[in-house]
Copies of this chain bind each other. A is one copy, B any other.
């Protein structure tokens, strides 16, 4: 059921490429504008202006909704500067959701014209067919969720902590936007460490993060067909199952390893330990707030967090990482292979073969980026592998958690993080688009051969 059966392939192809170029150009422009605004003296508290690397790093971190910082947000930036950061976060978060969905629709059309996949499945997984309606849907969902979390947080800051109403509103707004967009920026110098045992702060923020991390196609389908799970797309099922499993496993491991660490969970009540362990796990996928001092955690917890951060959350949402769908697709490929079955079936649907190679490619390219950046930063600094790897994965997956070394890195290493945030935010999306659009039929075939594997 193609929507535009008469559009020639060439036009669809160029509009797809155009969309991908638009994402990169748009994000680069947002970073540039953000950098210029943050360089203005009005953006900085106290006399003088920020340095170029401070402005560039902060703007990139905000637009790519990462949350890595090299200066203390509430102390270093003025109120104006913080408003700029918040605006960059919102632009970046909306931008990625809109562009990812836009590319999804373009690809669905292209696929349907080539007859490779039915457009119906694609369109359903994207959520709707017409672009204006889709953008409207994304904006409405964003505003509704952010408003609800804003209200809850503002009331709590005002009534529970005695902040003035104006401050409470600002804190509530900032954290609601920062949470739904998985940004992890905070208006508190210790991020959310002061609220580690307060479920009225932690749970609304966690909920906003999880919803933002599900991705727009999933939210859209849940809104429309919440009571009809049999109608859910493979994408929706994968994201929900993956989100639930990773949250449960991550919380269990974090609580287990940190249970007696007096610098993190050790001094809390059992219920609070579970709350804080859960909250930390939510942050690794890939929001980046912290209610526990990351630098004081056991390096085993960093290792577990590395894996959760690398996987990330759902596609076409505000989360980074290789995405939970990519991870589960690889898992199901392995499972099928071990069972010796021919086709990879997931929840009663057969996985398109083209997706196998796409998933491998995304993962390999991501591993390559992480490995090269880790090696480079280790050469540039004296930090240990565990801290550097954590920092690199955190930047690439746009998480923003840090063991505390970000501000101490030399400028070249900080520039590597800037590049990683940008690459991690746009790389998988544009790579996926380029792959899908470049696919061409070859007119000849070589004879087949199998090398020895393993």
A residues neighboring B (CB under 8 Å): 100, 104, 117, 121-122, 125, 215, 217, 233-235, 238, 257, 299-300, 302-304, 307, 315-316, 322-323, 325-326, 329-331, 333-334, 336-346, 348-362, 364-365, 371, 374-375, 378-379, 384-386, 389, 428-429, 431-432, 434-435, 437-442, 445-454
Contacts and interface: CB of A to CB of B under 8 A. Distances in A.
B364 A334 contact: yes
B325 A452 contact: yes
B343 A450 contact: no
Nearest to A236: B451
Contacts of A217: 452
Given A386-B384, A446-B348, A453 B333 contact: no
Chain copies in the assembly? 2
Nearest to A315: B452
Nearest to A111: B450
Contacts of A354: 450
Given A330-B360, A339-B438, 19 more contacts: A104-B452, A125-B451, A215-B452, A233-B449, A234-B449, A235-B451, A299-B384, A299-B385, A315-B454, A325-B452, A329-B453, A334-B365, A336-B357, A338-B434, A340-B434, A342-B440, A342-B441, A385-B385, A432-B454
Contacts of A428: 453-454
A333 B358 CA distance: 9
B340 A440 contact: yes
Given A307-B371, A356-B356, A454-B315, A448 B342 contact: no
6 A-B pairs with the lowest CB-CB distances in the bound complex, closest first: A340-B438, A428-B454, A385-B386, A315-B452, A362-B454, A235-B451
B364 A442 contact: no
A300 B374 CA distance: 9
B117 A450 contact: yes
Identify whether the interface residues of A are mostly helix, strand, loop, or mixed: helix
Contact of A117 (B117, B355, B448): B448
B349 A446 contact: yes
A355 B440 contact: no
A304 B357 CA distance: 26
Contacts of A365: 334
Nearest to A437: B340
B303 A125 contact: no
A79 B303 CA distance: 43
Given A343-B446, A446-B350, A454 B440 contact: no
A338 B357 contact: no
Contact of A449 (B121, B257, B442): B121
Contacts of A437: 340
Nearest to A256: B379
A450 B215 CA distance: 16
